[in-house]
Amino acid sequence: MKYLKWKLSNGVWGTHPVEAITAAGGRAATSCYVNADGYRIGYAWGDIDLTALSADWDITEVTQAQAKNFAKNIWGDVDFANDGTLTSPEPSP
């Protein structure tokens, strides 16, 4: 799995590159971690040429540690699930 950081097309909402990654022969998913600048952490599987995707998304491959640090800045208590995706405990009521 690759960890990706991308910018949503309209700031904190909008389109994302998941469909474009799928169309390029890969598989991708989003996480719930979006920062105030509109960047999100996502996941990708497969051999994908990120340079072939729209520059509008400003996609960067990041390390697992960088992805966790990004998410921790948003949520605080973050870890990895068995499949490598980021997870957070449910907030207390």
Whole-model pTM over 0.85: yes
What average pLDDT does the structure give for the chain?
89
Better-scored residue on pLDDT, 76 or 92: 76
The predicted structure's pLDDT at residue 13:
73
Q: Which is more confidently placed, 59 or 90?
A: 59
Q: pLDDT digits over 38-81, tens only? A: 999 999 999 888 888 988 889 999 999 999 999 999 988 999 99
| Contact between 39 and 67 (Cβ < 8 Å) | no
- Map out the domains of the chain as residue ranges: 2-87
**CA–CA separation, 86 and 47 (whole Å):** 21
Question: Does residue 57 contact residue 17 with C-beta atoms inside 8 Å?
Answer: yes
Average pLDDT over residues 75-93: 83
